[in-house]
Amino acid sequence: MAVKHIYETVIGLEVHAQLLTKSKLFCGDAIAYGAAPNTHVSPITLAHPGTLPKMNKKAIEFAVKMGLACHCEIEKNNYFARKNYFYPDLPKGYQISQHTTPVCKGGYISIKVNGTERKIRLNRIHMEEDAGKSIHDADDASTCIDLNRAGTPLIEIVSEPDLRSADETYAYLTELRKLLRYLDVCDGNMEEGSLRCDVNISVRREGETRLGTKVEIKNLNSIRNAKRAVEVESKRLVDMIERGETIIQQTRSFDADRSVTIAIRDKEDADDYRYFADPDLTPFLLEDEFIDRIRQSIPALQEERIKKYTGQWQLSEYDSQVLTEEKEIADYFEAIVQHTSNYKAASNWMTGPVRSWLNENNKEIDAFPLSAQKVAELIQLVESGKLSFSSASSRLLPYLIQHPSAQPELAAIEQNLIQQSDASSLEPLIDEVLTKYAEKVQEYKKGKKGVLSLFVGEVMKRSKGKADPKVTNELLLEKLKA
Amino acid sequence: MVEKLAHLARLKFNEEEKQEIKSDLQRMISFVEKLNELNLDGVEPLLHLSDEVNVLREDEIKGSVSREEALKNAPLHDGEFIKVPKVIKK
């Protein structure tokens, strides 16, 4: 069907991020994804009468940290409220949430799409506890409840309806996830549900200022699926309008296999959650000193690092972008350049051999067997001409990965990888080559300079790859001058 | 009103009970309505009765009970999960 008008898609996101605390928001149960069901529960989690919740200080720190990194205004007078509703995986019959009084207000996240930077405004970031898990398909007669997750600290990051396309949605989620991981407040693992995303989407005719009726798509489990869901849903909404149908406010879910969204429930009248301040929890007041301390604990974020890499360290924009994509990679790179000032070489090692090893072994940088200092030593060996880059990366590196405690230079000697760069060992080989190719030498002398590479190649062959090409080149030139 | 509250609380009442609750609620509301006589401009709502603030705990793991103990009070369980009537109908 040909679309008659031009439409604009308006998207706002609600992202739940599980905080990387050791224990729950209001009690000391461990946060343990994948643990045996109902093994991390306390009387508080189980909502037994007479129990008293107590706030986890670390969770508050994490929420404020994210807020500061997103340029939010931090609310100093805070309290938790009860959001009342019944569901079997919510033992208390209410969720403790800051829904009505978020700890962080406003702020923004910058995204870049097709080279254009945009600030996506945030409405708020608030804290709340997670519910337990309901498993509907394990048993024919019952729903099975696992309360390990109940009480896990979450922050909900709510954007303003500022996003306009699937690509922007993708960029926003990627930035948000990167930020959470840089700050070390959430592991960003969408498969395990530590980062979950709901999309609010509506479409309107271009030029229209009022928002169209919105549809909410729940629980998108990957950034890619969030992007696809926006593509699919905006098309569905536009088609409905073109056919003259009325859009109803709904909650839908995205079926990734079939690439369609399915209605879960209509949302005609607003739910009545009867929020009120939880009398079991004291208010919490944030002092300037506390906020400043958190502000100072924020590590250099990607943008700041790129500035340093391209400026002070003279790396390309592209390399800097790649190196800072993950904080752990950037940290490792920065640890290497503590020991060498050859920034370009360090960057090449990170984006080349190190990255390949991580990809091939499906590992994160923290599992890389070599210390940053050893990588710096490899760089120095190559720089000093003792080792060619290719034997360092394809032969010495794999050896060191097997023997992480070995000393790189000694290992290179032991493995017989050190380049021959002293004239005395190279000269006999050069003489041999020049004698053998006397005709070519004549050609060279007549001006056919290209044959030089043939001589270099032959010397390399005779040295079994250990001749230093640069020194060989120089020695050859000298001999040929004679 | 009574029916809405009963639904939100997942409770069922017969007509007689509803009447009783209705008059109770009316008495409660008129009792609280006395507050309307006061000028409360600029008065923040009192959310907590105690003056205590910032009762926080360190991020430490403690206080969990065994699964056996945890499931003891569940009306129905299988030794692993708490079982409840099916939430989603198929």
Quote the pLDDT of residue A176. 97
Identify whether residues A169 and A207 lie together within a single domain. yes
**pLDDT tens for the 482 residues of chain A, in order:** 566 789 999 999 999 999 999 999 999 999 999 999 999 999 999 999 999 999 999 999 999 999 999 999 999 999 999 999 999 999 999 999 997 789 999 999 999 999 899 999 999 999 999 999 999 888 888 999 999 999 999 999 999 999 999 999 999 999 999 999 999 999 999 989 999 999 999 999 988 999 999 999 998 999 999 999 999 999 999 999 999 999 999 999 999 999 999 998 876 556 789 999 999 999 999 999 999 999 999 999 999 999 999 999 999 999 999 999 999 999 999 999 999 999 999 999 999 999 999 999 999 999 999 999 999 999 999 998 888 888 899 889 999 999 999 999 988 888 878 876 677 777 888 888 888 888 888 888 888 888 888 888 888 888 777 777 888 888 888 888 76
- Residues of chain A positioned with their CB less than 8 A from the CB of B6: none
At A379 the three-state DSSP class reads helix
CB contact under 8 A, B73 and A46: yes
CB contact under 8 A, A282 and B63: no
Identify whether residues A324 and A453 lie together within a single domain. no
Q: Are A323 and A337 in contact (CB under 8 A)?
A: no
Return the amino acid letter for A90. Answer: L
Handedness of CA A215, A221, A222, A223 (dihedral sign): positive
Q: How far apart are CA A315 and CA A319, in angstroms?
A: 6
Q: A295 lies in a domain?
A: no
Quote the pLDDT of residue A387. 85
> Which chain B residues touch A if contact means CB-CB below 8 Å?
4, 8, 10, 47-50, 52-67, 70-71, 73, 76, 78, 80-88
Q: A56 lies in a domain?
A: yes
Quote the pLDDT of residue A481. 79
CB contact under 8 A, A48 and B60: no
E strands, A35-152, in order: 55-56, 73-74, 77-78, 81-84, 94-97, 104-105, 108-113, 116-129, 133-135, 142-146
Q: How far apart are CA A276 and CA A79, in angstroms?
A: 10
Identify whether residues A87 and A199 lie together within a single domain. yes
Domains in chain A: how many in total? 3
Identify whether residues A318 and A260 lie together within a single domain. no
Closest CA to A423 of A479, A475, A476: A475
Return the amino acid letter for B4. Answer: K
Identify whether residues A62 and A185 lie together within a single domain. yes
Q: A311 lies in a domain?
A: yes
Across-strand partners of A215? Answer: A201, A250
Q: A387 lies in a domain?
A: yes
Structure tokens at A313: 């360290």
Distance from CA of A402 to the nearest CA of B (A): 37
Quote the pLDDT of residue A444. 86
For an interface test with B, give the residue of A19, A23, A80, A218 to mutate (most B CBs within 10 A): A23
Mention every residue, 6+ apart, whose C-beta is less than 8 A from residue A129. Answer: A24, A25, A26, A95, A96, A97, A150, A151, A152, A153, A154
Identify whether residues A274 and A176 lie together within a single domain. yes
Q: A1 lies in a domain?
A: no
Identify whether residues A391 and A446 lie together within a single domain. no
- Give the chain B residue whose CA is nearest to the CA of A79: B47
Quote the pLDDT of residue A377. 94
Q: What are the residue ranges spanned by the domains of chain B?
A: 1-38
Instruction: For residue A438, give the CATH number of its domain.
Output: 1.10.10.410
Distance from CA of B27 to the nearest CA of A (A): 21
At B44 the three-state DSSP class reads coil
Identify whether residues A452 and A347 lie together within a single domain. no
B1-38 placed in CATH 1.10.287? no
- Residues of chain B positioned with their CB less than 8 A from the CB of A265: none
Q: What is the pTM of this model?
A: 0.83
Give the model confidence (pLDDT) of B29-80 as tens digits.
Answer: 999 998 888 888 888 888 888 889 999 999 999 999 999 999 999 999 999 9
Q: How far apart are CA A90 and CA A130, in angstroms?
A: 9
Mention every residue, 6+ apart, whose C-beta is less than 8 A from residue A85. Answer: A93, A94, A95, A271, A273
CB contact under 8 A, A136 and B85: no
Residue ranges making up the domain that contains A430: 423-481
Identify whether residues A475 and A390 lie together within a single domain. no
Identify whether residues A121 and A231 lie together within a single domain. yes
Identify whether residues A325 and A189 lie together within a single domain. no
Identify whether residues A168 and A306 lie together within a single domain. no
CB contact under 8 A, B64 and A39: yes
